[in-house]
Amino acid sequence: MPTVLVVTAHGDDMEFFAGGTISKLCMLGYDVHLLMATDNARGTFELSAEQMFGLRLREAEAAAKVLGLRSVSCLDYPDGNLCDTPHTTLRGQFMEAIRRLRPDIVFTFDPWAPYEGHPDHRAVSWAAMEAASFSHFPLYYPEQLAAGLAPFYVPETYFFAKSPIDVNRPVDVSGEAIERKIAALYCYDSQMVLTLADVQYAIQSAPYDVPEVTGLDPHDYRGFIDNRVRTTARIIGKKYGFEYGEHFRRVRWGGTERMAGPGGVPEEGF
């Protein structure tokens, strides 16, 4: 079966941006691997960094079980400070994962999408896009080849973003896929508490109130997350005739699709 590598910054990034699609791929039997760059240790208003560090893999592994991932790994760079890691170091670690797993598809943040405020997302987006673009070049990180890895051409990259541009690949995530996406998000308990609390801070700074949100205990996030995820997926799905959708900017085969003959290009079965 095809192999997929998802490269993100934090626990819950994959689930929020592509959790429905990833759960669908797992249900189809794809081997999906998740690589997170940071330790999530700043994603809280109430726990210590040490407590967060202890949670990072436990939450990710629970979510991975819900989705059916093949593996989860974490580079454990300090959350929020990924920009302190040399770009070429991060890119090399992503390229090592690509050359080792030889994925048919890489999912990651879109470096060209606008309005991305999180420095870790920006750092991952550029490093992962470049790693996927150059992993077949033998003189990039030749020490990896000396260690036994081979150059590898990544056939397809799926980019996601908060404010996506040039989306060209909708995925129908209605049914079991969206249910698993939401169930996987709940596994990131610390991050769901943070997500609701952060929205509450925003509303509390505004000249109005949204009592059904500000009145919640941040630990009682399920209804809020469920509603937010379904609303977003419904808006996307409506454009394509799905109940729930996710969408991506997809680049495949180095943009050579237009060179395909009259037989055209087959669409993927998901």
Residues that bind Zn ion (CB under 5 A): 9-10, 13
- Whose Cβ is closer to Zn ion: residue 21's or residue 144's? 21
Q: How far is the CB of 113 from Zn ion (least distance, A)?
A: 14
* Residue nearest to Zn ion according to CB distances in the complex: 10
Nearer residue to Zn ion within complex by CB, 9 or 75: 9
CB of 206 to Zn ion, least distance (A): 24
**Please, which residue, 9 or 105, has the CB nearer to Zn ion?**
9
User: Could you give the count of Cα atoms lying within 13 Å of 143 in the half-sphere of its Cβ?
Assistant: 3
Nearer to Zn ion, 12 or 96 (CB): 12
Report in angstroms how near the CB of residue 13 gets to Zn ion at its nearest: 4
Minimum CB separation of residue 225 from Zn ion in Å reads 15
Query: Of 131, 129, 45, 46, which Cα lies nearest the Cα of 94?
Result: 131
User: In angstroms, rounded to a whole number, what is the distance separating the alpha carbons of residues 4 and 175?
Assistant: 22
Number of neighbours of residue 200 by Cβ within 10 angstroms:
18
Give whichever of 13 and 130 is closer to Zn ion, judged by the CB atom. Answer: 13
Q: How far is the CB of 21 from Zn ion (least distance, A)?
A: 17
With tokens 């000249």, the residue in question is 207
Q: How far is the CB of 235 from Zn ion (least distance, A)?
A: 21
Q: Which is nearer to Zn ion, 12 or 31 (CB)?
A: 12
